[in-house]
Structure 1
């Protein structure tokens, strides 16, 4: 399993961030300048799952990038793998992964 380094991000708009340098995990390289809004978590759950938590933001950057490329299954699989490598609690990993898989299966028939 590839080592996870944290992405270098700067705010560019309210609750949005831009990569200051290329960010890579395994074979996946997200280019400098890529923009993310963090995890798309309904506001009611922000106290439990803040959208830009450093706990899992590294995984979110990769997930968002792959989703933008319409690689939803890979995105969800990488999210789960990276969150596990980051030491995120199993119940949080299950919540994120399950929510993403359901959303992608329903919206994109994947």
Structure 2
């Protein structure tokens, strides 16, 4: 049996894949899940993703930490009433105009 090889980068096939399920910050959440699940901390050491991020385990790349912070900022901006004027933080919604 050959071991399954998982891709290092997430591949999007359609615009709907990029948008996620339509809930706020869903695209960032999916990117963060993909990033953290592919670390040795989660795969081999069987630690939870939360534990891996909190302890700043060496196998967790900096990209995952940046995504976690971006996800936090996005969720916080959902609660901020000023975002009605500024828009949510996180990924820009460049696909909504197409």
Q: TM-score range by the shorter chain?
A: 0.3 to 0.5
Structure (1 or 2) with the larger CA radius of gyration? 2
TM-score normalised to the size of structure 2?
0.34
- Looking at both structures, which has the greater relative contact order when contacts are Cα pairs under 8 Å and sequence separation is at least 6? 2
TM-score normalised to the size of structure 1?
0.32
Normalized per residue, the structure richer in helix is: 2
Normalized per residue, the structure richer in strand is: 1
